[in-house]
């Protein structure tokens, strides 16, 4: 099988090389007739102009190939301008000398090397040199354009690969952050349930039901790129219900929502780390842990605020939860979110605003 593939590749390369050689032959044949036509205009020479043009072809072909296969790709494209100018000068001097030799031997050949009877043409040497370099310049310009287009295509492909790699890295980072959120969330919830089961075993069944709802959301909704904001709110409400069972009379939660559209969607598990953080690090002051929570969602802006009581020296903004949510916000809502965290003497406040009409990045 490998031998067959190698043969096919070899045959394809041979066909490609033959096609390129045929194309070059046709082109240089056209240049030859171009020289013959230009030189023959208003010319009184009796010799064969076609044979005279043949003497110009080797230097024209050599100069052109030096330009397109050496000077341009090796020096001009890599921006080695000094070397390009230096070697171009060498090429110009050598080619010009060769052109004069070609013109001289062309006349000598057409006069049977009888130097006393060398024919002349009405076209000057400067004109002939200009015709030669015109061909070189046109072909070089075409080659330069072709290389630029190829480089632009390669740059576009490279940029596409870089973007694809960045997207894969972003998805991997988001999955990693979710993996951190899951055990952190479950640990807090199960720990709450454990403590509640010891103190109030008669209400454990209700707690298990709430936990079941949370796990359903955690396992089946969190992998979606976006969820309805109402589902996210129900998830928060279930979590608060579990915490209210744990804190009993020492908890004072005020949760307000203003949702103006049922079609608003956000990334899942976006607000719960802030809520967890408030319960975990909040302080009971005057016999109460106070938490004020508000979510306001319009068609293009979602505002989330949460405030909890805390001690003066508490470091509530530390921990995996808040670090993760900040990273997720940068990945999911780049330049379309604004978060402000205020830690005063006895109050910790988080204010988050999301602009959701600019199509946040999918997870």
Per-residue confidence (pLDDT) for residue 270, from 0 to 100: 82
Look at 143-157, 206-220, 251-265, 288-302 and tell me which has the smallest mean pLDDT: 206-220
Identify the bridge partners of residue 337 per DSSP, sorted by sequence position.
354
Q: Which long-range contacts (CB under 8 A, 24 or more apart) does 41-46 make?
A: 42/122, 43/121, 43/122, 43/123, 44/121, 44/122, 45/110, 45/119, 45/120, 45/121, 45/122, 46/119
Widest CA span in the chain: 128
pLDDT digits 0-9 by tens, 292-337? 999 999 888 999 999 998 876 665 555 555 677 787 788 788 889 9
Residue 166: pLDDT over 80: no
Which domains, ranges and CATH numbers included, belong to the chain?
Answer: 20-149 (no CATH), 200-355 (3.30.565.10)
How confident is the model over 273-278, as a mean pLDDT?
Answer: 84
Q: Are 291 and 280 in contact (CB under 8 A)?
A: no
Q: Rounded to an integer, what distance in angstroms lies between the CA atom of residue 301 and that of residue 296?
A: 8
């Amino acid at each position: 099988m490998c031998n067959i593939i190698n043969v096919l590749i070899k045959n394809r390369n041979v066909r490609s090389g033959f096609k390129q050689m045929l194309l070059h032959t046709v082109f240089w044949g056209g240049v030859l007739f171009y020289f013959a036509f230009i030189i023959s205009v208003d010319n009184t020479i009796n010799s064969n102009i076609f044979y005279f043009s043949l003497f110009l072809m080797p230097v024209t072909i050599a100069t052109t190939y030096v330009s397109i296969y050496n000077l341009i790709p090796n020096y001009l494209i890599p921006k080695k301008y000094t070397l390009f100018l230096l070697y171009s000068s060498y090429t110009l001097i050598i080619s010009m000398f060769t052109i004069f030799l070609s013109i001289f031997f062309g006349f000598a050949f057409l006069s049977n090397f009888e130097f006393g009877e060398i024919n002349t043409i009405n076209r000057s040497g400067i004109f002939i040199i200009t015709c030669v370099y015109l061909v070189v310049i046109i072909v070089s310009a075409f080659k330069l354009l072709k290389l630029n287009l190829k480089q632009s295509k390669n740059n576009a492909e490279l940029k596409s690969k870089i973007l694809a790699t960045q997207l894969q890295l972003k998805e991997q980072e988001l999955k990693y952050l979710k993996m951190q959120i899951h055990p952190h969330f479950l640990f807090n919830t199960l720990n709450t349930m454990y403590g509640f089961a010891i103190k109030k075993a008669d209400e454990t069944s209700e707690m298990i039901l709430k936990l079941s709802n949370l796990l359903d959301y955690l396992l089946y909704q969190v992998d979606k790129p976006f969820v309805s904001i109402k589902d996210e709110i129900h998830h928060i409400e279930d979590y608060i219900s579990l915490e209210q069972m744990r804190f009993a009379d020492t908890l004072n939660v005020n949760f307000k929502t203003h949702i103006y559209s049922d079609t608003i969607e956000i990334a899942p598990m976006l607000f719960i780390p802030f809520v967890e953080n408030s319960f975990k690090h909040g302080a009971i002051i005057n016999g109460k842990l106070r938490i004020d929570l508000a979510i306001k969602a319009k068609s293009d802006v979602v505002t989330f605020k949460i405030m909890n009581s805390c001690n003066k020296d508490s470091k509530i903004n530390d921990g995996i939860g808040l670090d993760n949510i900040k990273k997720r916000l940068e990945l999911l809502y780049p330049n379309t979110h604004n978060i402000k965290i205020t830690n005063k003497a006895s109050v910790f406040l988080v204010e988050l605003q999301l602009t959701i009409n600019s199509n946040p990045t999918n997870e």
